[in-house]
Amino acid sequence: MFELIRDYLAQNPVLKLPAAGLVILISYLIANRLVANLIIAFVARTERQFDDIIVRHIRPRRAALLVPLLLINAFAYLIPAAEKAIQTAVLFVALWLGVVTFNGLVEAFNDIYEQRDAFARGSIKSYLDIVKLFAVIMGLILSISLITGQDVTGILAGLGAATAVLLLVFRDTILSLVASFQISANDLLREGDWLEVPSFEADGDVVDISLHQIKIQNWDKTISVVPTYKFMEVAYKNWRGMSDSGGRRIKRALYIDIASIRFCDDAMIERYTQFDLIQDYIEDALIRIEKWNREQGLDPNVLANSRGLTNIGTFRAYLIRYLQSHPQIRNDMTLLVRQLAPGATGLPIEVYAFTNTTAWAEYEAIQANIFDHLLAVVPQFDLRIFQEPTGNDFLNFARHT
């Protein structure tokens, strides 16, 4: 059959060009309408996800254009006057179609990688950006060689002479590449990390890491874009350690009015012993205090000479036991109640503890509930929270004077 067609075309050369056009059209229809559609339909029916990603990025209908392009290149001799120009144009289009398809495969590989558990160890997008950039550069070099007819080695030699200019042009790319290596090697940040970058007013989750920039979605849903190389120059805070630990720190102080601090009398002690959390503490403390005073020969009625319970010390004991018994406070992490230096706003009693969740809303609710209770229970220890006088305080003072 094919020999008969060839002999017939040899006897009727005027039909060669229409026949070539028909072959090219049929090849396009077969590759684009039949093969590409069959591939898309087959992939859509599979349960696997990676083949859907590959098809979405390489676009089979676009890649199918390579078949008619190669045939056009093969039949270019039928138009001798324009053979060279046709072949150059076809190879140029085929070259960049190949570059685009290759970069699509690289993007598909990144999407497949990000769906795997290994993605938690770090993004490879910046490295794949280098691969895509290299493919584009090679495409440019081959395009120049194709159009000018100059050998590739000669073009590369010319580029070597222009190294200084290239370094200047690709300065940000080179800096970003070095920064990407350092970020990945030291595991400094990943997609999904909560970052604070004060110099760029960025505070939120990392949503994308690429070669040239890192996108951070702030808590107000705005997007901050920070050049990748800037992360080697500016200070930033990564909250991943907090998220990985499973606990978030509470570090807040109550300010006690110093004028309300005093030794406990018998009535106060009797009332405090009714508090279940510190009942054993008070009993043990009274025994130790009595033993100390007796051994030292001190009169317990002279409080300046002897030891005795104070309401602030008892409150601190209550506070630490309250936190230890709280179901949403972690006892396997740092937990302490400390007294800071007194100042113009009173005596700070600081709570330093960790919640059993890192979820922002839950953390804030736990912290608020704890301090709701503490602020309400302070008067039970004959203490007062320090608060600067307000306009209402001055009004009441004026009424009583």
Q: Which residue has the tokens 């110093």?
A: 258
Domain 248-392 = CATH 3.30.230.70: no
Dist CA 84 CA 76 (whole Å)? 8
Whose CA is closest to 57, among 7, 91, 105? 105
What is the pTM for the complete model shown? 0.57
Collapse the DSSP code of 298 into the 3-class scheme (helix H, G, I; strand E, B; otherwise coil) and give the result: coil
Degrees, nearest 5: CA angle 226-229-230: 55
pLDDT string in tens for the chain (401-residue length): 334 444 444 555 555 667 667 777 777 777 777 777 777 777 677 777 766 777 777 777 777 777 777 777 776 666 777 777 777 787 788 878 888 888 888 888 877 777 766 555 566 776 777 788 788 878 777 777 777 766 666 666 555 555 556 666 667 777 777 777 777 767 788 888 889 998 888 999 998 888 788 899 998 889 988 888 888 888 888 888 888 788 999 999 999 999 999 998 889 988 999 999 999 998 898 888 888 878 777 766 776 767 788 999 999 999 999 999 999 999 999 999 999 999 888 999 999 999 999 888 999 999 999 999 999 999 999 999 998 776 666 676 667 66
CB within 8 Å of 267: residues ≥ 6 apart: none
Burial 140-152 (b: 16+ CB within 10 A, else e): eebeebbeeeeee
Dist CA 314 CA 229 (whole Å)? 54
Identify the CATH assignment for 188-238 out of 2.60.40.10, 3.20.20.140, 2.30.30.60, 3.90.1150.10. 2.30.30.60
Q: DSSP string of 348-382?
A: EEEEEEEES---HHHHHHHHHHHHHHHHHHGGGGT
Kindly list the domain boundaries of the chain, sorted by start residue.
2-184, 188-238, 248-392
pLDDT of residue 28: 73
Whose CA is closest to 239, among 200, 202, 184, 210? 202
Dist CA 277 CA 374 (whole Å)? 14
